[in-house]
Amino acid sequence: MALTNKIDFMAIVTVEDANPNGDPLNGNRPRQHYDNTGFMTPVCIKRKIRNRLQDMGRKVLIQQNDRSDDGLKSISERLNTVKEIADARSKKADKSDKTDKSEVITREACEVFADVRAFGATIALKDKTAVGVRGPVTIQQAKSIGSVDIESNQITKSTNNEADDTKGSDTMGMQHTVRFGTYVIKGSMNPILAAKTGFSDQDAADIKEALRTLFENDESAARPAGSMNVVRLYWWEQKEDDIRYSTSTILNTIHIEPLNPEEPAKSINDFRITENDLPDLKPEVIEGF
Mean pLDDT rounded to a whole number for the chain: 92
Q: What is the pLDDT of residues 76-110, one digit of tens each?
A: 999 999 999 999 888 765 555 666 888 999 999 99
Q: Judging by beta carbons within 10 Å of its beta carbon (0-12, 13-18, 19+), is residue 37 exposed, middle or buried?
A: middle
The pLDDT confidence band at residue 160, using thresholds 50, 70 and 90, is low
The vertex-184 CA angle with 179 and 189, nearest 5°, equals: 150
- How much of the chain is helix, strand and coil, in % rounded to 5? 30, 35, 35
Give the pLDDT mean for 218-242. Answer: 95
Report CA-CA distances (Å) from 13 to 2, 21, 64, 231, 255.
29, 13, 23, 6, 14
pLDDT of res. 82: 95
User: Within a domain: residue 33?
Assistant: yes
The one-letter amino acid at 14: T
User: Within a domain: residue 116?
Assistant: no
Among residues 223, 273, 210, 219, the alpha carbon closest in space to that of 16 is found at 223
Asked whether the beta carbons of 82 and 90 are under 8 A apart, the reply is no
Give the pLDDT mean for 10-26. Answer: 97
Burial call 203-238: b when 16+ CB within 10 Å, e when fewer: bbebbbbbbbbbbeebeeebbeeebbebebbbbbbb
Distance CA 19, CA 39 (A): 11
Asked whether the beta carbons of 21 and 39 are under 8 A apart, the reply is yes
The pLDDT confidence band at residue 177, using thresholds 50, 70 and 90, is very high
Q: What are phi and psi of 139, to 5 degrees?
A: -125, 130
Q: What are phi and psi of 261, to 5 degrees?
A: -60, -20
The one-letter amino acid at 279: P
Q: What is the pLDDT of residues 128-152, one digit of tens each?
A: 788 999 999 999 999 999 999 999 9
Q: How many domains does the chain have?
A: 1
User: Within a domain: residue 47?
Assistant: yes
Report whether pLDDT(221) > 70.
Answer: yes
User: Within a domain: residue 209?
Assistant: yes
User: Within a domain: residue 144?
Assistant: yes
Read off the pTM. Answer: 0.92
pLDDT of res. 115: 98
User: Within a domain: residue 37?
Assistant: yes
Query: What is the residue range of 270's domain?
Result: 5-60+135-287
Distance CA 108, CA 81 (A): 11
pLDDT of res. 174: 84
pLDDT of res. 241: 85
User: Within a domain: residue 228?
Assistant: yes
User: Within a domain: residue 129?
Assistant: no
